[in-house]
Amino acid sequence: MELQDLKVCILSSYGSAPSNLTNKLESLGVRDTEVFINYSELVKFLSTYEGTCLLFDLLGNENLRFNIDLDYFVSQATPFRLAQALRWDSNNEIRPIVEIDSDFRIISEEVSPENEVIDGLIRLPLYFFDSKEFLRHISSEGIDFKDENWIGLPLAFPRKELSYSNKTPALFLDRDGVINIDKGYVYKYEEIIYIEEIFPIIKMFNDKKWPVFVLTNQSGIGQGKYQEADVHKLHTKMIEDFTKKDIKIEEWQYSPYHFDKGIREYKRLSFTRKPGSGMALKILEDYPIDIERSFMIGDKKTDQILLPGITTLLIKGNYDIEGSNSLVFNSIGEIHNYLEEQIKN
Ligand SMILES: [Mg+2]
């Protein structure tokens, strides 16, 4: 389904949509837009309308700027009858946090106890739905979320307007087992043995001017095995090596949290910890990336991050990846060949 084929509904108590939103929709070729001043009016309309809609609910959110990749949201929501946009928020006081399963089904929405959550997904008042299905979930009072049919799609919510017409693919890399041999809780430079086959893959993306990022779970920090400073020191050394090899990684993101084994301020629920996609969403706040043409390379099931539409490539290594729903390879060399083919097209 394409954005241009949708009926776009806007709920606004002013009876008109803010100009930044109308301009954006116009620039994306959206023609069929209608504004409703309250839920009752929308219900009235939907009861006689049959089709797929996109809804911006600005009631109480009049100042919200939708700096998001709308084409991407629509494309990822298309297989579902009832989908909502979610965004990652780093504010640990946000409530409630939405939890999703590996199929993006919303499984719970909890007001977590104080100090349990450090960051997480929250609802954005943007919906994609089949009108018949949505009618069962909306009344003059508002929208009802108590249903297992709701799908929640995590989206980047950039701090400033990004030009998605120029978006490019990107490569996301796990660190241990992909860039260097995984010896378990590696944090000293002396322990780093590079997996050389990864370098030409990074180079291939560099040559295309497509960004490359590292996303690494570092719960060793949270468990008190080493410090954040150790990771910074190690990554600085690794970046020096990469520079000498004339290859470039835009950002190195790590997540220090672990809810079960973590101690002190690191014993927190964080969507940055993979398979959460918080680290990727943080990056996507700054880069206009075509996620549907992007790749994540990892060696664990948890590297299948919850980012709709990304292609995950897993290498058989130290971990059980049996039954994963990703493409599985015997070596990084095989991944190189695969990516070369993909990128050609
Ligand atoms: Mg790994």
In this prediction, residue 62 carries a pLDDT of 85
Q: Hey, which CATH number is domain 3-162, 1.20.1090.10, 3.90.420.10, 3.90.550.10, 1.10.1060.10?
A: 3.90.550.10
What is the rounded distance in angstroms from the CA atom of residue 312 to the CA atom of residue 302?
A: 11
Q: What's phi and psi for 11, nearest 5 deg?
A: -95, 120
- pLDDT for position 113: 65
Average predicted confidence (pLDDT) for the chain: 94
Of the ranges 60-69, 146-155, 222-231, the best mean pLDDT one: 222-231
Mean pLDDT of 16-43: 95
- Give the per-residue pLDDT at 114: 64
- Cα 283 to averaged position of ligand 1 atoms, centre (Å): 19
User: In terms of C-beta distances under 8 Å and separation of at least 24 residues, what long-range contacts does 62-68 make, across chains too?
Assistant: 62/12, 62/13, 62/14, 62/18, 64/124, 64/125, 65/20, 66/21, 66/24, 66/124, 66/126, 67/157, 67/158, 67/159, 67/160, 67/161, 67/162, 68/124, 68/126, 68/155, 68/156, 68/157, 68/158
290 is catalytic: no
- Annotated catalytic residue, options 57, 176, 299, 303: 176
| Lowest mean pLDDT across 41-55, 78-92, 125-139, 190-204 | 78-92
Q: Predicted confidence band at 50 (pLDDT cuts at 50, 70, 90)? A: very high
What residue segments make up the domains of the chain, in order of their start?
A: 3-162, 167-344
Lowest mean pLDDT among 113-122, 212-221, 306-315: 113-122
Q: Render pLDDT for 80-105 as a digit per residue (tens, 0 to 9).
A: 999 999 999 987 676 678 999 999 99
Distance 217 CA to ligand 1 centre (A): 8
- In angstroms, how far is CA 23 from the centroid of its own chain? 26
Q: What is the tens place of the pLDDT at every residue in 113-127?
A: 667 889 999 999 999
pLDDT average, residue stretch 307-316? 97
Mean pLDDT across 265-270: 93
Class of the 167-344 domain?
alpha beta
Task: Place 148 in a pLDDT band, splitting at 50, 70 and 90.
Answer: confident
Give me ligand 1 centre to Cα 315, in Å.
9
Distance 299 CA to ligand 1 centre (A): 5
Give Cα separations from 265 to 94, 121, 223 (angstroms). 17, 20, 10
Distance 230 CA to ligand 1 centre (A): 18
Q: How far is the CA of 292 from the centre of ligand 1 (A)?
A: 22
Q: Which one is catalytic: 57, 119, 174, 303?
A: 174
Which tokens belong to 107?
Answer: 């499984």
Specify whether the CB–CB gap between 182 and 318 falls below 8 A: yes
Q: Ligand 1 mean position to 218 CA, how many Å?
A: 10
Cα torsion angle, 127, 132, 137, 140, sign: positive
C-alpha 1 – ligand 1 centre gap (Å): 36
Which amino acid type is present at position 305?
I
Tell me if residue 343 falls in helix, strand or coil: helix
CA of 26 to the centre of ligand 1 (A): 44
The average pLDDT across 270-289 equals 97
> What is the pLDDT, as a whole number, of residue 92?
65
Helix (H, G, I), strand (E, B) or coil at 211: coil
Residue 286 is a catalytic residue: no
Residue-wise burial string across 67-105, b where 16 or more C-beta atoms lie within 10 A, e elsewhere:
bbbbbbbbbbbeebbbbbbbbbbeebeeeebbbbeeebe
3 alpha carbon – ligand 1 mean position (Å) = 37
User: With bands split at pLDDT 50, 70 and 90, how would you rate the model's confidence at 318?
Assistant: confident
